[in-house]
Each structure stands twice: as C-alpha cells, then as structure tokens.
Amino acid sequence: MTPLVHFDEVCVEYDAGREKTLALQPTTLEVAKGDFIALVGPSGCGKSTILKLASELLAPTAGHIFFAGRELGAEPVRVGMAFQSASLLPWLSIRDNVMLPLKIVPPFREHYRAKRKGEYRDRVDALLAQVGLLDFADKNPWQLSGGMQQRANLCRALVHDPDLLLLDEPFGALDQFTREELWSTLQDLWMARGSTVLLVTHDLREAAFLANRICVMSARPGRIIEDRQVTTPRPRQISQTFRPEFVSIVEQLRELIVHAPAAPQIPEAAQ
Amino acid sequence: MTPLQRKFASAALIVGVFAFWELVCLIFGISDLVLPRPSQILSTFIEYAPAIWPHAWQTLYTTMVGFVFGVAIGLALGVLIGSSKLAFDTAYPLLVGISSIPKVAVVPIFVLWFGAGTVPAILTAMIICIFPIVVNVATGIATVEPELEDVMKAMKASKRDILWNVGLPRSMPYFFASLKVAITLAFVGSVIAETVASNKGIGNMMMIASSMFNVPMVFAGLLVLSVLGVALYAIFSLIERRVAGWAMRKGS
Ligand SMILES: Nc1ncnc2c1ncn2[C@@H]1O[C@H](COP(=O)(O)OP(=O)(O)OP(=O)(O)O)[C@@H](O)[C@H]1O
Ligand SMILES: [Mg+2]
C-alpha cells in the first residue's frame, strides 16, 4: 500500500544570506494513513523542519515528498497545525477561534456564510464538548487557563478533518499534570477520528505514551537514526507509563539521543 | 480608593490647578497682558462667544475633513506597508522623511498651490495625522506572531485571508490608539495653517488678537482648542473601548 506521506531522500539547507545551514540530511520516512508518529531528537536537529516540509511551508532543497503517491503540491493537502503557544485570536470567542479553519479551508469555506450558525457551529461544539470546553465556547481566550487554551488549539487544528495533523511540541509549556491530561485527550481524539499525526516533542514519556512509532533523530544536520514501534495496546493509561517495560523504552530512547553519534557530514556545497 | 472616588479626586485636582493659577495671578499681581487669569479667559470667552463661534466652527471643520482624509489614506498605506516587504522598504523612509519636515514649512507650498484659506488647513491637518496612523496600522499587521502565520499558511490561507482574519483585527487596537493621537495632531495642523494663511479659524483669530495685545482673547482661543481636543479625544477613546475592548482584557 502506498504510504500517505513519503519523504524520499529529502534534504534541507537553510540559506540565510552568506551562511548556509544544513538542517536535514537526506532523510527517508514513510507515514501510513492513520498512524501516529513521534519525532524526537536533540534541539536543532530538524524536527520542526520536517513539519514545515509536510505542511508545504518549506520546500525541500533536494529530494521529493509524496502525498498519497503524488508529489506534494500537485493538489492541496489538508493540514492542521498546532504549536507550543496556543496563538488563539484574542478578539474571537473560543468557538469562533475553533471555527476559523472552516472559514479558510476548502471545501468548507464556500459554505461558511450559510452554515456558520448551523452545521459548522454544531460541528465545533461537538468537538469542544469532546475536550470538555463546551462551557467555555463563548469565552475569550484570555479567560482560559493555558491547558484549556491548548485544548482549543488542538480543536482548531482538527476541526477541518485534516489529512495530516502536525503538532510541534504542543504541550511543551504546560505543567506535568495538565500535560498528562492532554495526552489522554489527544489519544481519545486520535482514536475517535483516525487522523494521521506527526508529533514533535522533547518529552520521551509523551512520545512513548502517544505514538505508534517513534523516530529518533541525530544532532544537526539531522537524520533518522532509529525507528521504533510502540505496540502497547490502546487506550493506554497514564499509570502504564510508570511500568518497567515502558520506563525501559524511555531509557533506551534517552540513551540514543544523548549518545547520538555525531552524524557523518555529507560534503557541503561550496561556501 | 473606589473608581468613583478616584474620578472625583482627579476632577478636584484639575479644578485645583486652575484655582492655583487664578490665585498666583492675583497674589503676584500678574498683568493680563502676560498671563490672564482663568476667570478672565472664561469671561472673555463668554463675552465674545458669538464672534468666536464661526472661527471655532471653521477650525473644527478643516480639522475633521483633514482627519477623515488622513485616516483613510493612513489606513490604506498602513495596510499596504504592513503586508508587503517591498512597500515597507520603499514607503517607510519616505514617510519618516516627510514627517520630519516641520509642518509650518509646507503651509506656504499649499498656499502657493491652492491659495490661502480652507484647503491648506485641511491638507496640513491631513498630512500631520497620516504618519502615526500608518506606523501603528503597519506595526499591527506586520507583527503577527510567526507561529500563528504558520498555522494560517498550513491551512493554505491566502495573504488576503491572513490580512482579513488576523492582520487587520489585530491592528485595530493600534489603529484606535493612533486615532487619539491623530485627532489632536490634526488640530495642530489646522491651526498652524490658519495662523499662516487664512482669514478664518481659531488660529487666525488668535493671530489677530495677539497683534492687538488682546491676550485674554488669545487664551480664549487656546481654551476653545483644548476643549475641542479633549472632547474629540474622549469620543475616540470611547469608540476604541467599544471596538477594540478585547485588547484591554476586559470581559466581553
Ligand atoms: N529560518 C531558518 N534560517 C536558518 N536556519 C534555520 C532556520 N530555521 C531553522 N534553522 C536551522 O535549522 C536547524 C533545524 O531547525 P529546526 O527548527 O527544525 O530544529 P528543531 O529540531 O525543531 O529544534 P528544537 O527542538 O529546538 O525546536 C537548526 O539548527 C536551526 O539553526
Ligand atoms: Mg522545533
């Protein structure tokens, strides 16, 4: 079966004036539809870069990216994205914030005017109810706690049923308890919707709890040095993360990242 | 202090300042040719109100017309500059250059082009209030958080979508804050032009009064200007709070 997303020997070099930074060595990664992949690795190894490639915010310097067998960019891919800062729009209510993608992404946008008070509103409210935010739908973002804002951020990234959900350290700024709560929320959302998720994180417990596959990257210029399956059945419980087999996965990942061999440099282009 | 007490205290303080002024003038016997007392200014104002009124009206008229044009042009330029790097690099130095020219220096040019009277006053008011509006609107639009921009671009939002849904609403608090500055600047512009080249308006009235050493009348002109300024400032503060209240983090 063709993978949903296929990075084929993709390489990225940032070109900031005279200085060139090789961010990603030729990297190959296949993402199956409905999979949940976590990307972990030392800071600056190119994790965010991979997400930017998948969302077409950035074009690869070399190599190809395929979506459902066709080169990325050939036809629009529906993407949802969320970052560490919730970046909700303060002048809109939570409901309107979550509805924003329906105003912008086709085919929803064509019917936005007609349906925003009916069908779309119900759709948003159902999603908000799922993450326990329905009572706050009419509030403005600053009236919510950080964890609640991040829930709304997740909803905004999901409301238009994206083919690909890209999360860049979404829980990085939250305290441990809130973070764990949100892991469960995300797991529930994923199980209910069957989205395909690429999650970048620094938290190895988070990666092991949430993902089906964990891709470990080397230091910059990054490449994938380990691709590991996590087969623990779903739904997983937070308490499971303290069991020995789970702890050993986290330890092994940590060893890999800390002792990641300095990647052999491929010859750089003339400076 | 409760908010009511605070308001009362600040009102009392303002009255106190005028009382102090009155007292100082009385105690030191300051001539009204140097510094008239507030009571003299007020009585002059009441006495000459019918004569002052058309001048005040003229100044208000030129200021408002200039302001409206200035806001329209400033908003359009601000959107343009805020959303295009090229426009920013071209227009910003030009704007800074223009706004550093003392406005008194441009009035004669306007008079040369359009003759003395209403038009130069409107134009001076206009150009003096464009700059703060442009800068504020452009800042609001250009400083959209990069992460939010990525979220929007990942949804394949067009530049127009981003401007309309994020840039413009986001720049509204900046815009309204600049309106308060712009309206008071617009008064400065009209009055400057009227002082130099007009036979009508508060600026012109003050010029004539000062040439006749009618100092209380000059101050009555100042009184009219500041009352108009404060009133318009208050109106725009009110609009600001209505339209961009979210930026002040008050309940919706
Ligand atoms: N716009 C840019 N211009 C130049 N270099 C960049 C740019 N963005 C990223 N880089 C470089 O590319 C490398 C990879 O960046 P990336 O943001 O993908 O790292 P990351 O793995 O997400 O790091 P972190 O975990 O700290 O977020 C970094 O070393 C960074 O210096
Ligand atoms: Mg990153």
pLDDT of residue B14: 92
Q: Is the pLDDT of residue A127 over 90?
A: yes
ipTM: 0.88
Q: Averaged in consecutive runs of 10 residues, what is the pLDDT profile of chain B (252 residues)? A: 87 93 91 88 90 92 96 94 87 86 88 90 93 91 91 92 93 91 92 88 91 90 92 90 75 42
Domain ranges within chain B, ordered by starting residue:
43-244
pLDDT of residue A269: 47
Decide if A77 contacts A31 (C-beta within 8 A): no
pLDDT of residue B250: 52
pLDDT in tens, A153-205: 999 999 999 999 999 999 998 999 999 999 999 999 999 998 999 999 999 99
Torsions phi, psi of A136, nearest 5?
-105, 10
Chain B residue numbers with beta carbons less than 8 Å from the beta carbon of A55 are 150, 153-154
Using a pLDDT cut of 70, give the percent of chain A over it: 96
Angle at A254 between CA A253 and CA A260, to 5 degrees: 90
Q: Which CATH superfamily is domain A5-77+163-266 in?
A: P-loop containing nucleotide triphosphate hydrolases (3.40.50.300)
pLDDT of residue A260: 66
pLDDT in tens, A191-245: 999 899 999 999 999 999 999 999 999 888 888 998 999 988 989 999 999 999 8
pLDDT of residue A271: 40
| Mean pLDDT of all residues belonging to chain A | 90
Decide if A198 contacts A3 (C-beta within 8 A): no
- Distance CA(B14)–CA(B2), nearest Å, equals 19
pTM of the model: 0.83
DSSP element (H, E) containing A168 = strand A164-168
Torsions phi, psi of A36, nearest 5?
-125, 110
- Give the nearest partner residue to A81 out of B154, B161, B165, using CB atoms: B154
Torsions phi, psi of A58, nearest 5?
-140, 140
Q: Say which residues have a Cβ less than 8 Å from residue A215's Cβ, sequence separation at least 6.
A: A29, A37, A38, A39, A40, A224, A226, A227, A228
Q: Say which residues have a Cβ less than 8 Å from residue A253's Cβ, sequence separation at least 6.
A: A40, A204, A207, A208, A214, A216, A226, A228
- Distance CA(A128)–CA(A126), nearest Å, equals 5
Q: Which residue has the tokens 């087999």?
A: A245
Mutate which: B144, B145, B150, vs A, most A CBs within 10 A: B150
Residue B231, token pair as written in the block: 């009133």
CB-based contact A85 B145, cutoff 8 Å: yes
Please give the average per-residue pLDDT across A8-24, as a whole number. Answer: 87
pLDDT of residue A189: 93
Q: Which residue has the tokens 């009064």?
A: B209
Tell me which long-range contacts A231-238 makes (C-beta under 8 A, separation of at least 24): A234/A187, A234/A191, A235/A184, A235/A187, A235/A188, A235/A191, A236/A187, A236/A209, A238/A180, A238/A183, A238/A184, A238/A209
- The hierarchical CATH code for the domain B43-244 is 1.10.3720.10
pLDDT of residue A262: 58
Confidence of residue A261 (pLDDT cuts 50, 70, 90): low
Residues of chain A with CATH 3.40.50.300: 5-77+163-266
pLDDT of residue B249: 67
What's the distance, Cα to Cα, between the start and end of chain B in Å? 25
Using a pLDDT cut of 90, give the percent of chain A over it: 74
Q: Ligand 2 centre and the CA of A46: distance in Å?
A: 7
Chain A residue numbers with beta carbons less than 8 Å from the beta carbon of B247 are 90-91
pLDDT in tens, A90-114: 999 999 999 999 999 988 999 999 8
Mutate which: A49, A51, A81, vs B, most B CBs within 10 A: A81
pLDDT of residue B105: 87
Q: Is B48 left (phi over 0), alpha (psi -120 to 50) or beta?
A: alpha
